[in-house]
Structure 1
Amino acid sequence: MQIPFDNSYVKLPAQMFTAQLPTPVKAPQMIAVNADLGAILGIDPAMLTAPEAVQVFAGNHIPDGAAPLAQAYAGHQFGNWNPQLGDGRAVLLGEVIGTDGIRRDIQLKGSGPTPYSRRGDGRAWLGPVMREYLVSEAMHAMGVPTTRALAAVTTGEDVFREDVLPGAVIARVAQSHIRVGTFQFFASRGDMTALHALTDHVIARHYPQANGPAELLDLVIARYAALIAKWMGLGFIHGVMNTDNVSIAGETIDYGPCAFIDGFHPDSVFSAIDQYGRYAYANQPGIGAWNMAQFATALIPLMPDRDAAIEAFTAAVHRMPVIYEAEWLRAFAAKLGIANPTEDDRTLITDLLDLMTKDGADFTNTFATLNTARARDQFLSRDAFDTWADRWHLRKSDDAATIMAQANPQIIPRNHRIEEVINAGRNGDHAPFHALLAAVTNPYAPLTDDTAHFARAPSEDEQVKRTFCGT
């Protein structure tokens, strides 16, 4: 299997990673392979369906030109500092410069233990692999910067969690897997050699317009603020916004206990490990700013005047909410068919969200049907909705229908549908996975008799109230 590797991270100082081969598995079988993404990476589509492909994506065969490694990083986990994390169950095979000129990592997740595993088995079970594949590809289809799924395979081996579960590996692709926690790892150790090298690498790779750490911070903040605004506009909850899960490239990364809101409430939490709601839907913008403060702190040792850097970087972090609010307004105005939003539109949007909160209106279906008579059906207080709608009709643009069709997905990877797919997969049936994948990667298409059921909100007994990361 020929993959046109062009590896750069492996050329950085040796303390930034550990050379690491994946651990072979017993009997891998392909679940899915992403031919469209493979083409962007310059991989011959015929090779993706050849028998050797499953061996590569399972970690049993290392293709020519690969430089397998596990990256070192640290991080704040639920606000608590952990100085030693790293790729505990992932191996970066190498990097590819795609046909679009963008450099990307190809990483195997669930590929076995590494020196950073902290007594873990380094494996993934089928459920989280299916969830990450479905959600990351759906997010890409909805225009959200994200890691992507290149392939998923079962391993033919069991993984032990709360039960004996089928093992799996996902081959995921990202513009890089460098995190805020990567910078924290070296800053906390006072390793200026690695910190300088990492900063230069990130600027050259992701932000060539940046002239030094201060401009890098500004650009990362702007990209991260825009990303969170996109999450909010889709009712998406990441679930584990630890600094080791914050991509410096501004992509959504690490789809562990992630979830989409059904009946709307801003305090929604799904992650079973988020016991106090730190990463609830409404808290995501504030946590984003907190994470950028940690990034700024890690960059301060690079600056010649510490006191001046603290003042400047504090101001940069304080600008993030302003950037976010502008991005949020733009995202939600589009959902209402408003082409040129003003600050007055913010009240119109929040009033709708308040009505949705009061009645538990389905987030996705409210916006998907807003331009139709069916929108009233989402609400118990229909008179209140009608009063709001009268105000909205006076404000929306002439081309509102077109704007809204491009901003409001009809289908998302709903939590209960993902659970159905996982349960079928545990029994060896992957047909539901492929059916849901086809639907969520075409999210803005009008519903048909074959796809309408994917848009249906869960009944009370179908609701998924807790999600798990699978480690």
Structure 2
Amino acid sequence: MSDDKNQFGWNFDNTYARLSDVFFERVNPTPARSPVMVMFNEELARSLGLDAAELAKQGQNYFAGNTLFKGSEPIAMAYAGHQFGRINMLGDGRANLLGEHVTPKGERFDIQLKGAGRTRYSRRGDGLAALGPMLREYIISEAMFALGIPTTRSLAVVTTGEQVIRETALPGAVLTRVASSHLRVGTFEFAAGFEQGKNLRELADYTLRRHYPDLVSHPEPYVALLKAVIERQASLIVKWMQVGFVHGVMNTDNMTISGETIDYGPCAFMDRFSLSTVFSSIDVQGRYSYGQQPSIGQWNLARFAETLLPLFSANQEEAIAKAEEALDTYAEHLQRHWATGMRGKLGMVSAGEDDMPLFNRLLELMERNQADYTNTFRALSNGVMLDEALFKDADFLEWHKAWQARKPDLKLMRSRNPAVIPRNHMVEKALSAAVERGDYSVVQRLLEVVQNPFVEPGDGDEFKKAADDEGYQTFCGT
């Protein structure tokens, strides 16, 4: 049983709060009127070494921010960010980092409350969050984890008993987010730009110790840091694209130094394959469309490299040359991860000279026929031909014959191609039930399915059908 002494198993050691105070504001969460815990991730709690049973019973006031866990030191983090290409001073305007929990295995995780009230970085915002977007992040982040994609995770959602005013009055909520850290490209942009580089080395050294300790003794640790982040981000973006995920808001403040997916606001999974797929209501130019994600990743990494230039060399030309050399590795990493991932999706146990043309031709045919991305790859994995336009296309049949000649491993394919994703209409159905009727059973059933994405759902094709409406849009939760 947990008590006030062991505090449910929490073990806080808050290293970020020991940095120079320019990087954060010490601020407590705003208490909620009448918190009720509506979602709790027992599996995640146990993996963190916490007393899941007692947290499930007693956690609502803690996860709402009304009561602080022993050892936590709440702060709001400062950071900047290029939003749709324009630099802004940002920071945690509605989030509160309680601290860093160290698990019994020695792993370190940030524990953050999202929607916990105003901070000095809120600007004109209210610092609050609505229930729908918090449930959305819970569902999508847990689906991403189950798909094997590096991501922040969701520990709990608590309703506050208060209304949040957006276009209409909505029920308020607080999400508890778990992350390797919340260090972002934007954190470095803040240090290099808004702080004129005064504490840049302190931040870089901290980042190395926390995320890349094997690089601390490197002859050029800061160049090595850049190269390591480039490699992780290339891998991450490929993983997104190979499950049809569109992040939707790839601003530099949403690119983590750890290589985890963060911020599930306007994100969605693609049904019909198209490189130009956009879901975000505010991305009218398609800057963050599905097919643009690799190039935007490179653009963001170039901004990261710019912040590190003073640490590379006192000679600007030499520093720029080091940055350019590192950035040149991005395309190589991207292509390598893409080829490896696609071989797995198509069951190829060895590399061949025709791999890339084979991959590209399939995607061309899928786009031409408006094929469902997930269902197409899963059908190939199951060795079946769907009654759809793609599978009747003569060019596809020619492709299929060439692919079959490679003797694909279907068992391998079924481990790489999910049977289910969080289909947009299913997510909306679950959110509507919870927000409008207080019925969380639809969310729970959806979670059961997407947390086992490589298993065929037992109750028919409901979770596998694409939406009829192709005009689906997502919206930022602020």
TM-score range, shorter chain: over 0.9
For the aligned residues, what is the CA RMSD?
A: 1.4
Residues 375/467 of structure 1: CA separation in 2 closer, same or farther (3 Å cut): farther
Counterpart in 2 of 1:452?
A: 461
Q: Decide whether aligned partners of structure 1 residues 28 and 187 sit closer, same or farther in structure 2, where only a CA change above 3 A counts.
A: same
Q: 1:315 offset after TM fit, Å?
A: 1.7
**Of 36, 57, 79, which aligns to 1:29?**
36
Runs of 5+ unmatched residues, structure 2:
1-6
2:78·2:187 contact (CA, 8 Å) conserved in 1?
A: yes
CA offsets 1:159-185 (integer angstroms, 9 cap, x no match):
111111111111010000000000010
1:416 equivalent to 2:422? Answer no
For residues 301 and 343 of structure 1, the distance between their equivalents in structure 2, rounded to whole angstroms, comes to: 43
Aligned residue type for 1:68: P
Quickly say closer, same or farther: Cα 1:396–1:289, change in 2 above 3 A. farther
For residues 343 and 48 of structure 1, what CA distance do their matches in structure 2 show? Answer: 54
| 1:203-218 map, 5 Å | 203-210=208-215, 211=218, 212-218=221-227
**2:406 is equivalent to residue 395 of structure 1:** yes
Residues in 2 aligned to 1:375 and 1:185: alpha-carbon distance in whole angstroms: 52
- Name 1:157's counterpart in structure 2: 162
- Superposed, which structure 2 residues align to 1:119-138 within 5 Å? 119-138=124-143
Hey, what's the Cα distance between the residues in 2 that align with 1:333 and 1:172? 33
Q: Do 1:221 and 1:317's aligned partners in 2 also have CA atoms closer than 8 Å?
A: yes
- Structure 2 CA distance, aligned partners of 1:339 and 1:104? 36
Matches within 5 A, 1:236-385: 236-304=245-313, 305-372=315-382, 374-380=384-390, 381-385=392-396
- Aligned residue for 2:261, secondary structure, equals coil
Q: Distance in 1 between matches of 2:200 and 2:326?
A: 20
Pairwise CA distance, 1:239: 0.3
Distance 1:141 1:455, change over 3 A: same
CA contact 1:57–1:169 (8 Å) conserved in 2: yes
- 2:121 matched to 1:111? no
Q: C-alpha distance in 2, partners of 1:468/1:14?
A: 33
On the 8 A contact 1:336/1:396 being kept in 2, the answer is: no
TM-score (norm 1): 0.96
Q: Secondary structure at the match of 1:169?
A: strand
Q: Of 126, 129, 140, which residue of structure 1 is paired with 2:145?
A: 140
The answer on 1:77 being equivalent to 2:99 is: no
> Structure 1 residues 343, 218: CA separation in 2 closer, same or farther (over 3 Å shift)?
farther
Q: Separation in 2 of the partners of 1:353 and 1:23?
A: 49
How many residue pairs are counted as aligned between the two chains?
464
Q: Retained in 2: the 8 A contact 1:73–1:185?
A: yes
Q: State the 1:373 CA deviation.
A: 5.3
Task: Check if 1:228 corresponds to 2:246.
Answer: no
What is the distance in 2 between the residues matched to 1:374 and 1:401? Answer: 11
| Deviations 1:78-107 (CA, angstroms, capped at 9, x unpaired) | 11111x100011000110122333211000
Residues 158 and 164 in structure 1, CA contact (< 8 A), matched pair in contact too = yes
In 1, are the aligned partners of 2:381 and 2:417 still within 8 Å (CA)?
Answer: no
Distance 1:47 1:451 in 2: 36
**Cα 1:140–1:100 shift into 2, 3 Å:** farther
1:200 equivalent to 2:184? Answer no
Residue 407 and residue 297 in structure 1: after superposition, are their counterparts in 2 closer, same or farther (change >3 A)?
Answer: same
Please report how far the alpha carbon of residue 388 of structure 1 lies from its aligned counterpart in structure 2 after TM superposition. Answer: 1.1
Relative to the length of structure 2, the TM-score reads 0.95
The one-letter code of the counterpart of 1:392 is W
The CA deviation at 1:222 is 0.3
Separation in 1 of the partners of 2:353 and 2:472? 35
Between 226-235 and 325-334, the greater mean CA deviation after superposition: 325-334
Structure 1 Cα separation of the partners of residues 199 and 460 of structure 2: 50
The match for 2:3 is none
Q: Partner residue of 1:10?
A: 17
**Once the 2 structures are TM-superposed, how far is the Cα of residue 191 of structure 1 from its aligned partner?**
4.2
Please give the secondary structure, in 2, of the residue aligned with 1:234. coil
User: Residue 156 of structure 1 aligns to a residue in which SS?
Assistant: strand
Q: Take 2:383 and 2:222, find their aligned partners in 1: how far apart are those partners?
A: 52
Deviation, structure 1 residue 419: 0.5
Structure 1's unaligned 5+ residue stretches are: none
Give the residue type in structure 2 aligned to 1:23.
T
- CA distance in 1 between counterparts of 2:416 and 2:386 reads 20
Given the superposition, is the C-alpha separation of residues 101 and 308 from structure 1 closer, same or farther in structure 2, using an over 3 Å criterion?
A: same
How far apart, in 1, do the equivalents of 2:234 and 2:104 lie?
Answer: 28
Q: Go from structure 1 to structure 2 and tell me whether the alpha carbon gap of 1:342 and 1:261 turns closer, same or farther (over 3 Å shift).
A: same
> In structure 1, what is the Cα distance between the partners aligned to 2:57 and 2:200?
41
Give the counterpart letter for 1:37 in structure 2: L
8 Å Cα contact 2:94-2:117 kept in structure 1? yes
Residue 27 of structure 2 corresponds to residue 20 of structure 1 = yes
* Aligned residues of 1:156 and 1:167 also touching (Cα < 8 A): yes
Identity %: 48
SS of 1:172's equivalent in the other structure is strand
Q: 2:183, 2:223 → 1: CA distance? A: 18
